Chain A
């Protein structure tokens, strides 16, 4: 989420317990945080819990917020921690912050070489196309999906993504590449099939 699209929030007013400013911050960030949570957890009730806990936590920790990171980075970090807590509780076998052997190399070899990039935009972004993309993102393994969501959907830097997930920047880069290549494979398969179908209809 680009900072410029969001109204200016005064950190000083927040720290002075200005409720109107806090309400402004909630309105500015609640939609992207809810959407991110929904994509991380795939469940509306869990996403709402993350949303509420994020702002309750922010309220408690405002006196400690020194403004060294932006308000958005600070809130996303809280939201990610809340989401990770829910994930760990529900799926204790998943450990996002641990590096594993697959973090050493991207190790995904492209197998689909369909040149679908030049398809018209309205075809790429058809209702079915968007659904295919959403499903493909949901199917990514959690440790890749979290990195991908923060970096490619929330537009966090590699460093901010690494900080939010307590990972090294090198691990973030490898996971990001794997996630992007996995999505590319799935979209290539989908658009390849569509191109074949269109050709046979000609």
Chain B
């Protein structure tokens, strides 16, 4: 990896999150894309950081249920026993 200010490995690292989240302006994106076309290490860092975030999302199942006993104690604590039918989810 090279060291200096922008359009470099150091510059890319500082803007990495914004770049991956699509929050960087067009000119900075262009600079980063030019840099990673020439710097294999930085291309790998960008790709694998993006993949890391994708994996976090993929492994986080939003439909996973609350354990039944935890749900039951929660409803009792909130005096909502009468709504304690099986979860609709």
Q: Which residues of A contact B (CB under 8 A)?
A: 1-2, 5, 19-20, 22-23, 26-28, 30-32, 34-35, 48, 51-52, 55-56, 59, 106, 109-110, 113-117, 121, 124-125, 129-130, 133-134, 137, 152-153, 173, 176-177, 180-181, 183-184, 187-188
Kindly list chain A residues whose C-beta atoms are within 8 Å of the C-beta of B24.
none
- Inter-chain CA distance A17–B84, complex, in Å, is 18
Tell whether B36 is near chain A: CB-to-CB under 8 Å.
no
Residue of B nearest to A58 (CB): B78
Q: Are B56 and A133 in contact (CB under 8 A)?
A: yes
Given contact pairs A48-B73, A137-B56, a sample of 17 additional A-B residue pairs in the complex whose CB atoms are under 8 Å apart: A30-B71, A31-B89, A34-B70, A35-B60, A48-B70, A48-B74, A56-B78, A113-B40, A113-B41, A113-B44, A117-B50, A121-B58, A125-B59, A152-B53, A173-B17, A177-B13, A181-B49
Report yes or no: A27 in contact with B88, Cβ–Cβ below 8 A. yes
B37 to chain A, nearest CB (A): 15
Q: How many pairs, one residue from A and one from B, have CB atoms within 8 Å of each other in the complex?
A: 111
B4 near A: Cβ within 8 Å? no
Bound-complex Cα distance A115 to B52 (A): 12
- Whether A116 contacts B48 in the complex (CB less than 8 A), given A27-B88, A125-B55, A180-B17, comes out as yes
* Pair A117/B78 contact, Cβ less than 8 Å: no
Q: How far is the CB of B28 from chain A (nearest CB, A)?
A: 15
Distance in angstroms between the alpha carbons of A125 and B52 in the assembled complex = 11
Shortest B87–chain A CB gap in Å is 6
Chain A residues contacting B78 (CB-CB under 8 Å) are 22, 26, 52, 55-56, 59
- B13 partner residues in chain A, CB cutoff 8 A: 106, 109-110, 177, 181
Q: Are B52 and A184 in contact (CB under 8 A)?
A: yes
Output the least CB separation between A57 and chain B (Å).
Answer: 11
Contact A52-B77, Cβ < 8 Å, known A1-B62, A125-B59, A183-B52: yes
